[in-house]
Structure 1
């Protein structure tokens, strides 16, 4: 049926259709925000080196956990032996880790080698999907067998209004922590 015939059958259809189309354009959903975290695991010159266990999470200013973003540990150990050592990530473990049943799809993964490790998250899925607007602290904790333990904190505001970069730096078990986030 041609548009001219439809106008005769339903007077006022064209203005209504045009109005509905324009409303759809005006009410497009907001673009998802991106959060990119770069964690440097330093190469240590020690006699017995083990890859560190690492937890990355967001905390509220009251130190409650808003979201666990990543946990890197020895996932392939026989009989889930690697999970036994997650408690060495003491801050993460005390605040939320003991309540988490590992492995968690999209969060847990294998330990990472020395070098820069990337973690990329989007606000439209995963741990950031339900994150309310507000002030947060990105927490990165590393613990290494026959080694040390370290926590680096990087404050951020979510969701970002403009593209931003924030940095933190470890002294032994962690190197530079770089946080890039944009609307």
Structure 2
């Protein structure tokens, strides 16, 4: 016999509306290669080919003496537009490399770098580079701020699988 639990909550103040969210789903494909290394990954927002906001930079953060940063310049577009001007690790942005699989990264649109975006046309850019491997860069254009829910994706051909962008106002 299953028992049901009934709970009544009273006296609670109204909950404010949740802030919007930007979710970026990145697929790291399994590659059939002799020497596999996890890719370094940068995700940022740009406008007119200028980096506006770094969302995440994934690299070998465990190497001593910050040696993992040595290979960040292999993500050429990100490095030229933003990376070379940074101090590593970037607080709230840097993280370890991601294993094979699908990973969803969520960002609050009311906090951090997204809160400062002015209305206009932007692109989400995802760049991956792998030691003893290749490079790949994908762009997803979007309008800011989103007035309705947005969902777009693009498929990579080598270092990245499907990259999806979902924005909830």
**Alignment TM class, shorter chain as reference:** 0.7 to 0.9
Shift of 1:99: 0.2
Determine the structure 1 residue equivalent to 2:133.
147
Determine the structure 1 residue equivalent to 2:71.
85
Alpha-carbon distance between aligned partners in 2 of 1:132 and 1:30, rounded to the nearest angstrom: 21
Aligned residues: 154
Alpha-carbon distance between aligned partners in 2 of 1:152 and 1:124, rounded to the nearest angstrom: 25
Shift of 1:30: 7.8
Alpha-carbon distance between aligned partners in 1 of 2:88 and 2:116, rounded to the nearest angstrom: 21
The Cα offsets for residues 15-34 of structure 1, whole Å up to 9 and x where unpaired, read as xxxxxxxxxxxxxx985221
Determine the structure 2 residue equivalent to 1:76.
62
Unmatched segments (≥5 aa) in structure 1: 1-28
Q: Secondary structure at the match of 2:133?
A: coil
1:1-183 equivalent positions in 2, closer than 5 A: 32-60=19-47, 62-183=48-169
Q: Secondary structure at the match of 1:145?
A: coil
The Cα offsets for residues 62-100 of structure 1, whole Å up to 9 and x where unpaired, read as 201110100000001011110111000100000110001
CA contact (8 A) 1:33 1:159 kept: no
Alpha-carbon distance between aligned partners in 2 of 1:103 and 1:127, rounded to the nearest angstrom: 16
Alpha-carbon distance between aligned partners in 1 of 2:17 and 2:124, rounded to the nearest angstrom: 24
Structure of greater Rg: 1
Q: Give RMSD over aligned pairs.
A: 1.2
Shift of 1:35: 0.3
Unmatched segments (≥5 aa) in structure 2: 1-15
Alpha-carbon distance between aligned partners in 2 of 1:105 and 1:128, rounded to the nearest angstrom: 15
TM-score, scaled relative to structure 1: 0.81
CA contact (8 A) 1:33 1:160 kept: no
Kindly indicate which of the two structures has a greater share of residues assigned to helix: 1
Alpha-carbon distance between aligned partners in 2 of 1:131 and 1:107, rounded to the nearest angstrom: 17
